[in-house]
Amino acid sequence: MKISVKVLALPLVLMMSIPGTALAATPELPATIEDNDIPVTIEEVPKFYPTFSDIEGNMFTEEIRWGAENGYLRGWPDGTFRPQQLVTREAFAAFMYRMKAKPEAESNTDQNCFTDIANSQFQKEICWMKSEGISTGWPDGTYRPKEFIERGAIAAFFARADKAKLPEYYKAYAQQGHLPDAVGSPFYKEIFWFHIHGIGRGWDDGSFRPNAYASRDATAAFFYRYAHRSRELLDLPFPDPNGDYDPNVKYLEIPNAGN
């Protein structure tokens, strides 16, 4: 497309220092350029996706590219993303920090928040997670950065990052057959919130597998879905399975696992 812009050129003076003197030379240049309407052609720049050599054909290729383009996910110097590799707890902290942290977080975050992170390359990001109430670590004061992260813990981290409301009756839904394997998890409310909002969908057999480790490609999908949630969906009330329903109210629909 072509547009016209008005350009005002101000007087241009070039000052060149002359070694050994306190004087400056001012070459003769036109003092002004008259205002003119100058036609300018602007071409659309193709959207840039960071290139990974090992994600084509992956079911989450779009989500991985989106995460990389926005700076949340990074690969290796050899150009790979390694989508099937499992995610460590420290790497997940880095992903979440890049998406959610504010610019001032780096200078305002204590970096000695857990007893076992001194050698982690993501010490700052881990301590930001703690300062935001996203991660509490273990009772012994450790974070265990090199351990792989479980799906249940991921659900908890996302729910805390979102400051989500977690009604007690989530457990009643689980007891009615929704994500039955989440009932025994300490994060069952967070898992159900995670599932209801379409972030973690579970398997076709109706399970969520909260103790299973998460791969890098699945984690990319979690971040993508979290960022693209419907705002309308977030405003809908949760139906209480033990309460009365108002026929004039639109409630949040409870999805089946695997959808």
71 and 37 both lie in a single domain: no
- The pair of structure tokens assigned to 168 is 């007690």
pLDDT tens digits, residue range 50-72? 679 999 999 999 999 999 999 99
What share of the chain has pLDDT > 90, as a percent? 47
228 and 106 both lie in a single domain: yes
> Would the pLDDT of 47 be above 60?
no
21 and 67 both lie in a single domain: no
- The pair of structure tokens assigned to 254 is 């409870």
Domains in the chain, number: 2
What share of the chain has pLDDT > 70, as a percent? 62
pLDDT tens digits, residue range 11-44? 433 333 334 434 444 444 444 445 555 555 555 5
170 and 207 both lie in a single domain: yes
34 and 134 both lie in a single domain: no
For 183-202, what is the mean pLDDT? Answer: 87
172 and 212 both lie in a single domain: yes
17 and 73 both lie in a single domain: no
For 75-96, what is the mean pLDDT? Answer: 96
Query: Which structural domain, as residue segments, surrounds residue 35?
Result: 2-41
Q: List, in order, residues 6 or more apart from 98 with CB less than 8 Å away.
A: 71, 72, 125
> Would the pLDDT of 170 be above 70?
no
The three-point CA angle 112-114-115 to 5° equals 95
For 105-118, what is the mean pLDDT? Answer: 78
Asked, for residue 254, whether it belongs to a domain, the answer is no
- The pair of structure tokens assigned to 116 is 């076992």
Asked, for residue 252, whether it belongs to a domain, the answer is no
For position 70, what pLDDT does the model report? Answer: 93
For position 15, what pLDDT does the model report? Answer: 35
Q: Are the C-beta atoms of residues 186 and 138 closer than 8 Å to each other?
A: no
